[in-house]
Amino acid sequence: MKVMVVGGGGREHAIIKKIKENKAVTEIFALPGNGGMANDATCVNIDAKDIHKIADFAVKNNIDYAVVAPDDPLVLGAVDLLEENGIACFGPRANAAIIEGSKVFSKNLMKKYGIPTAAYEVFDDMKAALNYIKTAPIPAVIKADGLALGKGVIIAQTRKEAEDAIRSMMQDKVFGKSGDNIVIEEFLTGPEVSVLSFTDGKTVVPMISSMDHKRAGDNDTGLNTGGMGTIAPNPYYTPEIAKECMEKIFLPTINAMNNEGRTFKGCLYFGLMLTKSGPKVIEYNCRFGDPETQVVLPLLETDLLSVMQAVTEGKLSEIEVIFSDKSACCVIMASEGYPVKYEKGFELNIPEKIADKVYVAGAAIKDDTLVTNGGRVLGATAVSDDLKTAINNAYLIVNQITFTNSYYRNDIGAKALKAEEGR
């Protein structure tokens, strides 16, 4: 069986390694993949956003199954196009991927169907937004409507910061058309939980919960990044909270999308905040999270490809999805300066004996040598019986990997460990 995975980061490497476990798989192509995953997949130099080239490749190479992992191609309609060409796919169609592609859409969906989320206002006019912010509660959260590489959210601590954010999005267009419309929402507080789920539009199966570490620096300081590390399971996410989320958030969301004629099939990611007045949705993603996937999939005991195929065929209720009761920790090694400015092209040394625990995000092969080629370079994941050991072991892996200008947080999992000990 020939499988194609669209995307090229650590998330895709984790998906590829898991799919490889299925004996029926003879070949995996990564579009574009990256030099660090060359042992696990055949990398094909096609950009993940070039959905027409992707579909042509799939047809010409008789691909049996395609996984579209990143947000951009999903929102652009990669799955629609592949399906039109007869290729079985994992991932939502464009009309469902809008749940991530437009924050205005997702906020209005939640309001219409009574799904708990932060109170908000939508603006398409800068003057109106600036006028509103004069009296709005501060801190305020300003969000660009469309995709913005995870950077379209600004938490304004002062009215001045809020005004600057509005101007930068709506006037200076720092996120391009994504800032034509903005959402201004209430600032919530509480522990954050990421819950990825499999859904075929009828059944929703939450995966093991996880915790991301979005800020660049230790103790949650510095700029927001794509994610500097993850742990799973998330100790704040108790069975009682999981039950409440299923009743008030997960099932209502699946039903709401069906009701709107936008059935969601694929991985639906719930970014949740556990507030004093209950769990609320911070964001939906129409895909696997990165780096959440690097701790969630290593804990999946059921064959991933079989679960994905069950989603595609609308038979998710017929398969049992089992997660291990172990813990996992993933530490991201980045290039110093990420997420702003960083150098790349440095030799990357990953000893062979730990290669199976490393998911490469930003690397390239140059003159037969593996070199760094991105902000987030790789994720080092350890799975252990308990969280503390998983954290220690993840850092032991990190210590064996070398490249110039490497940077990583030293406190991945520390907050979770404290929460666990406090229980």
Residues that bind ligand GLY (CB under 6 A): 150, 212, 227, 285, 289-290, 292
From the list ligand GLY, ligand AMP, none, which binds 285 (C-beta under 5 to 8 Å, kind-based)?
ligand GLY
Report strand pairing: 229-232 vs 211-212.
antiparallel
CB atoms inside a 10 Å sphere around CB 221: 9
Binding status of residue 192 toward ligand AMP by CB under 6 A: yes
Strand partners for 279: 274
Q: What is the DSSP string of 22-38?
A: STT--EEEEEE--GGGT
Minimum CB distance to ligand AMP smaller for 202 or for 215: 215
Nearest-angstrom CA–CA distance, 340 and 223: 9
Q: How far is the CB of 267 from ligand GLY (least distance, A)?
A: 11
3-state secondary structure 91-120: CCCHHHHHHHHCHHHHHHHHHHHCCCECCE
Tokens (6 digits) for 191: 């522990």
**Footprint of ligand AMP on 251-280 (CB under 6 A):** 271
From the list ligand GLY, ligand AMP, none, which binds 252 (C-beta under 5 to 8 Å, kind-based)?
none
From the list ligand AMP, ligand GLY, none, which binds 77 (C-beta under 5 to 8 Å, kind-based)?
none
For residue 53, give the H/E element and its range.
Answer: helix 51-60
Minimum CB distance to ligand AMP smaller for 5 or for 282: 282
From the list ligand AMP, ligand GLY, none, which binds 141 (C-beta under 5 to 8 Å, kind-based)?
ligand AMP
CB-based contacts of 23, cutoff 8 Å, min separation 6: none
Which of 150, 217, 222, 314 forms a contact with ligand AMP (CB under 6 A)?
A: 150
Task: Mark 282-321 with x for binding to ligand AMP (rule: CB under 6 A) and - for no binding.
Answer: xx--------------------------------------
Minimum CB distance to ligand GLY smaller for 58 or for 99: 99
Nearest-angstrom CA–CA distance, 292 and 283: 15
CB atoms inside a 10 Å sphere around CB 379: 33
Instruction: Pick the piece of the chain touching ligand AMP (CB under 6 A) from 54-62, 182-190, 291-299, 312-320.
Output: 182-190
From the list ligand AMP, ligand GLY, none, which binds 348 (C-beta under 5 to 8 Å, kind-based)?
none
Minimum CB distance to ligand AMP smaller for 12 or for 71: 71
For residue 231, give the H/E element and its range.
Answer: strand 229-232
From the list ligand GLY, ligand AMP, none, which binds 118 (C-beta under 5 to 8 Å, kind-based)?
ligand AMP
Nearest-angstrom CA–CA distance, 368 and 118: 50
Q: Please report, as a single letter, which amino acid is at residue 66.
A: A
Nearest-angstrom CA–CA distance, 29 and 27: 7
Which residues are near ligand AMP by CB under 6 A? 118, 141, 150, 153, 155, 185-188, 192, 214, 224, 271, 282-283
